[in-house]
Amino acid sequence: MRSDLISHLAPAQTLRPASQADPSVPVNGIGVDLANYDSAVVLVDAGTISGSGASLTFEVQHSDDNSDWTAVPSDELDGAEPVVTSANDEQIHRIGYRGIKRYLRVAITAKAGTSPTLLVGATVVRGKPRRYPA
């Protein structure tokens, strides 16, 4: 077994960094395959939010088939899914996943306020691989 950290982690983008502004457009991340990994953490990297009373609500979703998605129950998460406002922007929000589904993604499920805009990206970091690279 390798002892370096890079051999134990496999990050994958679910929400590519972009400016999220249009409240009428749903935003669903790309499904990340958790096969061959025993743990995962979601990182939501938020920039500065703008707009009067602006907020964006993030949800961790999972799937057996990378097609039919449901919200992860709170008892399968370590930490809370963020609602990013001016009080908690400009930081990385961490959410651990304890579920058993094969695929994981992040979605923006609600946008509120006047002209909400946020530069944001989300990454799923897979850990504890069942097989290590050579």
Structural domain that includes position 102: 5-127
133 found inside a domain: no
pLDDT of residue 2: 60
CB 27 within 8 A of CB 107: yes
In this structure, what CATH number is given to the domain that contains residue 49? 2.60.120.1110
- Has residue 90 been placed in a domain? yes
Classify residue 50: in a domain, yes or no. yes
- Three-state DSSP at 33 gives strand
Task: For 80-134, write each residue's pLDDT tens digit.
Answer: 999 999 999 999 999 999 999 999 999 999 999 898 999 999 999 999 888 765 5
Q: Tell me the pLDDT tens digit for each residue of 10-26.
A: 999 999 999 998 767 78
Specify the DSSP class assigned to residue 67.
S
State pTM to two decimals. 0.92
Could you tell me if residue 18 is inside a domain? yes
Residue 84 lies in a domain: yes
CA distance to 66, 71, 94, per residue, from 10 (Å): 18, 23, 16
Q: How many domains does the chain have?
A: 1
pLDDT tens digits, one per residue of 37-92: 999 999 999 999 999 999 999 999 999 999 999 999 999 999 999 999 999 999 99
